[in-house]
Copies of this chain bind each other. A is one copy, B any other.
Amino acid sequence: MPIHKDPDPKGRAWPLFLATHSRLMERIEDALARAKLPPLAWYDVLWELEKAPDQRLRMHQLAERIVLSRSNLTRLADRLEAAGLLRREPCPDDRRGSFCVITQAGLDTRKTMWPVYGEQIEVLFARHLSVAEAEMLVKVMTRMLVVKQE
Interface residue ranges, A against B (CB under 8 Å): 5-6, 9-10, 12-14, 16-17, 19-24, 26-27, 67, 121, 123-126, 128-129, 131, 133-138, 140-145, 147, 149
Asked if B67 and A135 make an inter-chain contact with CB atoms under 8 angstroms apart, the answer reads: no
CB < 8 Å: which of B125, B135, B140, B149 contacts A14? B125
7 more A-B residue pairs beyond the given contacts A13-B134, A19-B67, A22-B67, with a C-beta to C-beta distance below 8 A: A6-B138, A9-B137, A16-B138, A16-B145, A17-B21, A128-B140, A137-B140
For the complex, would chain A's binding face be called helix, strand, loop or mixed by DSSP majority?
Answer: helix
CB < 8 Å: which of B10, B126, B128, B133 contacts A129? B10
- State the Cβ distance, A91 to closest chain B Cβ, in Å: 26
- State the Cβ distance, A56 to closest chain B Cβ, in Å: 20
With contacts A138-B9, A138-B12 taken as known, whether A20 is within 8 angstroms of B145 at the C-beta atoms is yes
CB < 8 Å: which of B6, B23, B138, B149 contacts A135? B6
- State the Cβ distance, A128 to closest chain B Cβ, in Å: 4
The 3 lowest CB-CB distance pairs between A and B, nearest first, are A22-B67, A9-B134, A128-B143
With contacts A13-B138, A131-B10, A137-B140 taken as known, whether A23 is within 8 angstroms of B67 at the C-beta atoms is yes
5 A-B residue pairings within 8 Å (CB atoms): A19-B145, A23-B67, A128-B143, A128-B144, A137-B137
